[in-house]
Structure 1
Amino acid sequence: MAHTIDKSNFKTAQIAVNNCKIHNRTTDQYCEDCGVLLCLVCARLSHVQHKCEAVQKLADDKKKVLKTTSLDVKERYIPLLHRRIEIIDNIKKENTNRCREQMAILLRHHDVILKNLAKIKEGHKERLMENLSTKNAALDLMKSELEQQTESLTETCSVLDEGNMTDYSFLQSFSSLENTLKTIPRSRKDISSSFYSMLVSPQKINSLMLESLVGTLLDTNEITLSEVASFVFGADAINSLAASSESACWLYEDRGTQIVQIGFQGEVLNTVDLKRECDAFTRGPHNEIIVSHLEEQSISVIASTSSNFHEENISTKPLAPEGVTLANNGGILVTLVDDSTKFTLDATSRRLVRLMTLSGEVTRDYEYREDGKSRLFTLPRRAIQKRNGDICVIDFLSETQGIIHVISIEGQKLSAYTGQNLEQNFLPTDILADDQCNIIITDPTNNVLHLLNSEGEFLKLLTPSKSSFSIPISLTLFGEIIWVGNLDGRVNIYRYRNDIVL
């Protein structure tokens, strides 16, 4: 609660000093710790550990600094409070604008839903009418045939009943009658099949399903990191991470020759010996270790057996693989460049993201925009695919500036993010997506993690609640556990809470 001054104390005359009820002595002492008047005995006994002073002396001392304090209040504290009030007013305005923006998004999305529902309704109505038209047309044809048969039978019976024909003619007519009767189906199967067959089957309306359709509400204050464990694994940077469970993770140290599986306390659980350095790695759909080798221009797929590890190499020549991650279809996403040191592109430069199978078959290259001329990337470092199929790419524009591209599976550019609320340039090094397709990015230059929504729009900066990063450069997520690798060899493990409020 803010401090308030009791104006009743502002009097022109001195307030009468009472005697102490315990010692019957004048209360001419003041305890600054407790803010109460005391007698000298109380000051020396029950308040002996406190800061006590004679009232008159203390008042004289305070009066000497009153002018300085008053000036400090007027020139420093009051302007400071005014600035904070101004900040509050500005935040309120910004909050109102943000709320209006979110309201507009909700209404636009609602209109899109209604428009699509109307389109679906019209499509269903059209199919209902088509079924009616088809069935009735078939019935009209059958009716016409039956009317012709009825007319023919009536005429034949009439001629036979007259009896004015030779026996030969009679036999011919009667035989024709019998043949006609044989063609009349005894079953109503053909007619029954022409009953109206298109049925509307309304689904039970589920409130959660409807709320999910309209859109969930995400309270960014509920998205937090709480520390689970922290340890120093080695002296070199933790270049890449790939969680295998909530309690185990594979990692690669910069300039190392092994990929190591560790537990919560940094204990080594397993080791894959590469016998050479690598640039990035990921886990395959069947627990393979997939490694990119920039200088060798190749990708290694290492599968474990009961007795050893089996390695197969995929050449990416003449391009070099910067990063590799697992794609949704069990294949891999590889960032490929012709030169990892140049940021200026010419007509022959190659900078792309490749979707390919583990056998090396190219599924698709993402290099140019829809016009086939404008490049998508400058120097792509790493790419991931979200559950909804969209692809997020870390792209370096220079040695000090990066960007996050979000493109659709068809290659359409959806959004771009260049950082927000930062003191230094945005230079991302790693990226992942959670189950709601929100995006998390490491930013070692500013020592934070960025959280974006599924559209690639900024939500907040994520910082841990109990400890600080030591320059985060890599990360991986399994369930609610995020592993963060740092430049100094430290690994931080956090519980990632991403509560959706409906």
Structure 2
Amino acid sequence: MDPRTSAQDVMRCDLCETVVVQMHCDTCLVNLCKACVGEHISTDEFKDHKVVKFQARKSSPLYPGCTTHSKERCEMYCNQCDIPVCNSCIASDQHLGHKFLKILQVLDERRNKIMKDVTELNEIIYPTYQDIASNVQNRMSQLEKEYGDLSMAITKHGEDWHREIDKLVKKLKAEVDEMKNTQLQTLQKHLDEINKNISDIKDEINSVDMALDTNDLSKLFSVTSSVHIYRNLPNKIMLSLPKFMPGKIQGKELRKLFGALSSSSLTSDKHGYSMKTTQKSPEAGSSLLVKQLLDEPETVTTIATGYGSLYNVACLTDEEIWTRGNGSTMKLYSINQGSLLKSIRTKSGNSPCDIAVTKSGDLVYTDYLDRTVNIVKNEKIEEVIRLQNWRPEGICCTSSGDLLVIMYSDDNTQTKVVRYSGSTEKQTIQFDDKGKPLYSAFDYKYITENRNLDICVSDLGDEAVVVVNQAGKLRFRYTGHTPAPKNKPFDPRGITSNSQSHILTADYDNECVHIIDQDGQFLHYIDSGLSGPHGLCTDTNDNLFVAQRGKRQVKKIKYLK
């Protein structure tokens, strides 16, 4: 076998191609044997050849050639002109009085900047885009499920009608599919753009890594970073689903009475995505963007409600909130305008005990005196649950669409939480593993479901927040934190949770809101300017809404970065 053509052959001299490499010209990047060194240097006597042993190759910096003086290399840098210069350039009138730096110093600073950019690309920007892509894919899967639920609702309503409405059902479902496909196509295009950015970021990281791995300073000097482009995250696609609004059969106006789909929407939010932080928290899942608490919460806006006393608030959307106070009227307000949009009076004329909003955007309320739980659909009130020997108080809607209702026995000696699917009772939570009551017999109690599906009850009678898991097993009791802002006993009222699985509870007497983590550890107080905080809720951006009982105002507070 010819050793010169063998795949296992050692490296040979680039000139004679016979003798094993012994030397290397760091200037020309040529491998040489000792016999060929002189021949190589003689080919260009004016070039400063730096010939070293092959083992020491790339040890000498390869200065860039001067664009003005072709035979010289640039070892200095003109700060005013922002270009590399050689000794002849420095001696010329063109750079008279200019400040010069060693080019190695400039390139070291540039190398450090590039390395920082690469670190940001690797550790922050690239993972952020990966998370965005994952979130969009998850939203697309959820969209399939939610549109499927929508189709099921239409089908179920259609089963109550005769064959004459079959064509109408098909038409409506086709509209659902068209809306779904439009939104899925938009999200797919959005995902494709994100994935392209991810690919471009990987290519840039690889390109920069290759430049950093060479001793060719010209290549390093020519590296430009596009990290500033990728810092500008893409606009977030905001979706809203249509709502199915059923009607009653009255003959001719079949389509109108059967029900119609509200329009869907696709919007783009420039500030919808947040850059991924490298900090992790115990409650953060792999796809959860971790948000940090602000040192000083910020009041965004205040909304006057006109009640004599204000008790509860519930978010309909990020722009609208339902409120309830003394009296039988529940009011819907615009958050940004502070204006009253709608008023609904309870069916019985009694004051509602608590309010909540379902996944489909319907208002639900409890009527303690009437023993009922009611839902408002198309401004018409329907009775969902009627109790016997028990009276309902706190209520919340879960992520699965169930209702969780706190109720008291008629003699006020027992309290329990009951889960309903529609009007069907699915679960009762009343006692711990030792058969002792989980909740006090009476007094204010409010309820929410945490992001991890824990059921959280603020229990004024026990001066505690009682948290059980989805199966109803006690996880912990939170009884306040010392010192409290007003140094008074813990006085829990309204309760809510956020995307970080934090639990937030209004402390009426201490005029603050407690923030605890999903395991009951105290994190922070929100106590700036609150007066008699009673009801709480959070929107999809984790803004907090506080119903201030005496001031009859709802305060919107930003407390997470």
Question: What TM-score results when the alignment is normalised by the length of structure 2?
Answer: 0.46
1:278 corresponds to: 352
Shift of 1:495: 3.9
- Displacement of 1:260 in angstroms is 2.9
Partner SS, residue 537 of structure 2: strand
Aligned residue type for 2:439: F
Change (3 A) 1:224 1:332: farther
Residue 366 in structure 1 maps to residue 443 in structure 2: no
Contact 1:379 1:396 survives alignment (8 Å): no
2:372 maps to what in 1? 298
Match of 1:351 among 411, 415, 420: 415
| Cα deviation code 1:272-311 (max 9, x no counterpart) | 222522111111121111110111111111211xxx5242
SS state at 2:306 partner? coil
Is the counterpart of residue 393 in structure 1 residue 457 in structure 2? yes
CA contact (8 A) 1:480 1:495 kept: no
> Partners of 1:214 and 1:431 in 2: how far apart?
22
Q: 2:547 is aligned with what amino acid? A: G
1:378 aligns with 2:437: no
Question: Retained in 1: the 8 A contact 2:283–2:518?
Answer: no
**Equivalent residues in 2 for 1:155-304, closer than 5 Å:** 222=294, 224-275=296-347, 276=349, 277-304=351-378
What is the CA–CA distance in structure 2 between the aligned matches of 1:366 and 1:214, rounded to whole Å?
Answer: 27
CA 1:428/1:454 → structure 2, altered by over 3 Å: closer, same or farther? same
Q: Distance in 1 between matches of 2:488 and 2:328?
A: 30
The residue correspondences of 1:401-412 to structure 2 (distance < 5 A) are 402-412=463-473
CA 489–453 in structure 1, closer or farther in 2 if over 3 Å, else same: same
Answer yes or no: is the 8 Å Cα contact 1:395–1:404 preserved in 2.
yes
CA distance in 2, matches of 1:328, 1:294: 25
Distance verdict in 2 for CA 1:424–1:248, change over 3 Å: same
CA-based RMSD of the aligned residues comes to 2.7
The number of residues matched between the two structures is 275
- In 2, Cα distance between the equivalents of 1:214 and 1:388? 12
In the alignment, the residues of structure 1 paired with residue 414 and residue 291 of structure 2 have an alpha-carbon distance, to the nearest angstrom, of: 41
Instruction: Say if 1:404 and 1:418, in contact at 8 Å, map to a contact too.
Output: yes
- The residue number in structure 2 matching 1:42 is none
| SS of match in other structure, 1:429 | strand
List gaps (5 residues or longer) in structure 1. 1-207, 343-348
Q: Secondary structure at the match of 2:418?
A: strand
Structural mapping, 1:305-454, within 5 Å: 308-339=379-410, 342=412, 349-358=413-422, 360-371=423-434, 373-379=435-441, 381-397=445-461, 402-420=463-481, 421-422=483-484, 423-454=487-518
Q: Which residue of 2 aligns with 1:481?
A: 543
Instruction: Give the direction of change, closer, same or farther, for the CA distance of 1:215–1:237 in structure 2 (3 Å limit).
Output: closer
Gaps of 5+ in 2: 1-275
Q: Which runs of 4+ in 1 moved over 6 A?
A: 208-211, 217-220
Paired residues of 2:320 and 2:332 also in contact (CA < 8 A): no
Query: Of residues 459, 470, 486 in structure 1, which corresponds to 2:531?
Result: 470
Correspondence for 2:522: 458
How far apart, in 2, do the equivalents of 1:289 and 1:460 lie? 31
CA displacement at 1:232 relative to structure 2: 2.7
Question: Whose Rg is larger?
Answer: 1
Q: Tell me how far 1:218 sits from its aligned partner.
A: 7.7
Identical-pair percentage:
18
Conserved 8 A contact 2:531-2:548:
yes
Work out whether residues 223 and 496 of structure 1, in 8 Å CA contact, stay in contact via their aligned partners in 2.
no
Distance 1:463 1:385 in 2: 24
Question: Contact 2:283–2:501 at 8 Å: present in 1 too?
Answer: no
Q: Deviation of residue 377 (structure 1)? A: 1.0
Residues 298, 310 of structure 1: alpha-carbon distance in 2 compared, 3 angstrom cutoff: closer
What are the equivalent positions in structure 2 for 1:4-83 lying under 5 Å apart?
none
Deviation at 1:328, TM superposition (A): 2.1
* Residues 447 and 214 of structure 1, relative CA distance in 2, 3 Å threshold: closer
Cα distance in structure 2, aligned partners of 1:363 and 1:457: 31
Q: Is the 8 A contact 2:496 2:536 kept in 1?
A: yes
Structure 1 pair 435–219 and aligned structure 2 pair: CA distance change class (3 A): closer
Please report how far the alpha carbon of residue 263 of structure 1 lies from its aligned counterpart in structure 2 after TM superposition: 2.9
Q: In terms of mean alpha carbon deviation, does 361-370 or 249-258 score higher?
A: 249-258
Q: Is the contact between residue 357 and residue 397 of structure 2 (CA under 8 Å) also seen in structure 1?
A: yes
Q: Secondary structure at the match of 1:388?
A: coil
TM-score by length of 1: 0.51
Q: How far, CA to CA, are the matches of 2:365 and 2:393 in structure 1?
A: 10
Where does residue 75 of structure 1 map in the other structure? none
Distance 2:282 2:495 in 1: 28
Against the structure 1 CA distance between its residues 228 and 297, is the aligned structure 2 distance closer, same or farther, given a 3 Å change threshold?
same
Identify the range of structure 1 (487-496 vs 416-425) with the bigger mean alpha-carbon deviation.
487-496
Q: CA separation in 2, counterparts of 1:246 and 1:236?
A: 26
**Deviation per CA, 1:111-151, whole angstroms, max 9, x where unpaired?**
xxxxxxxxxxxxxxxxxxxxxxxxxxxxxxxxxxxxxxxxx
Give the counterpart letter for 2:428 in structure 1. D
Task: Flag the 1:354–1:224 CA change in 2: closer, same or farther, 3 A.
Answer: farther
Task: Please give the secondary structure, in 2, of the residue aligned with 1:430.
Answer: strand
> Cα distance, 1:210 vs. partner?
11
Q: Is the 8 A contact 2:297 2:558 kept in 1?
A: yes
CA contact (8 A) 2:300 2:558 kept: no
CA deviations over 1:6-31 (Å, ceiling 9, x no partner): xxxxxxxxxxxxxxxxxxxxxxxxxx
CA pair 222-313 structure 1, distance change in 2 beyond 3 A: closer
CA distance in 2, matches of 1:214, 1:403: 23
TM-aligned CA deviation for residue 436 of structure 1: 0.9
* CA distance in structure 2 between the aligned counterparts of 1:218 and 1:309, rounded to whole angstroms: 41
Residue 161 of structure 2 corresponds to which residue in structure 1?
none
Residue pair 2:455, 2:467 contacting (<8 A) in 1 also: yes
